[in-house]
Every structure is written in structure tokens, then in C-alpha cells.
Amino acid sequence: KQEVTQIPAALSVPEGENLVLNCSFTDSAIYNLQWFRQDPGKGLTSLLLIQSSQREQTSGRLNASLDKSSGRSTLYIAASQPGDSATYLCAVEGYNTDKLIFGTGTRLQVFP
């Protein structure tokens, strides 16, 4: 059974710091991995999608890497801003299954 874990559960940093959020999964047979952002009480905004054949994806100040063999992904946020404050969720989709399995998220607060 696939399990997804995110560390740390919460993070509070001053503006301008570079951040690394971690996601680990127990079954390496994944089809893709997706990172999402969620503001309080709101839906999910897709940030980056990494297919199983890819090693990383970049969008602006965000970079996500994937190491299937070790069951790990990291989301790197460069030069953090207060507007980055949100909960970040990672989710994996396995082969022969159409559902996303989520971690419990990392709650990020960036203060001025």
C-alpha cells in the first residue's frame, strides 16, 4: 500500500530564505508525482508535475526533483516571499491506478 510522508509538517522562515520541502513515498512504482499549493480553506493549485521518466521540473522560483529509486521528491523554493505562505502537498499516482495519494502537507509561513 502506497504511503506518502511529508517533512517537516510546519516551517516558519524569514523572507528571502531558500527552502527545501521533502516528500517520500513507499512504493517506487509511480506514474507521476505532483506538487500542489493550498491556501487556508481553499482548493489545490497545481505547481509542478514530474513524470516518472523525468528527474526534475522547474517553474519560476520553484524546482521539484524526483528520485524514484529512493522514493523521494523535494520542492525547492528560492528567495521565499510572504506570498508563498500556504500548505504544500505532494501526491503520487501509481501505475494501473487513477487516484492520487497525498501526503499530509507542509504548512509554510514566510514572515517579512
Partner 1 sequence: DAGVTQSPTHLIKTRGQQVTLRCSPKSGHDTVSWYQQALGQGPQFIFQYYEEEERQRGNFPDRFSGHQFPNYSSELNVNALLLGDSALYLCASSYNTENEAFFGQGTRLTVV
Interacting residues toward partner 1 by CB under 8 A? 4, 31-32, 34, 36, 41-46, 49, 89, 91, 93, 97-105
Least Å distance, CB 14 to partner 1, is 25
Q: Cβ–Cβ contacts within 10 Å for residue 50, how many?
A: 21
Closest CA to 75 of 8, 2, 29: 8
Least Å distance, CB 16 to partner 1, is 28
Closer CB to partner 1, 83 or 95, in the complex: 95
HSE on the CB side for 56, CA within 13 Å?
9
Question: Which CA distances in Å does 86 have to 2, 81, 93?
Answer: 25, 11, 23
Least Å distance, CB 33 to partner 1, is 11
CA gyration radius, the chain: 13
Closer CB to partner 1, 34 or 65, in the complex: 34
Least Å distance, CB 98 to partner 1, is 4
Closer CB to partner 1, 80 or 105, in the complex: 105
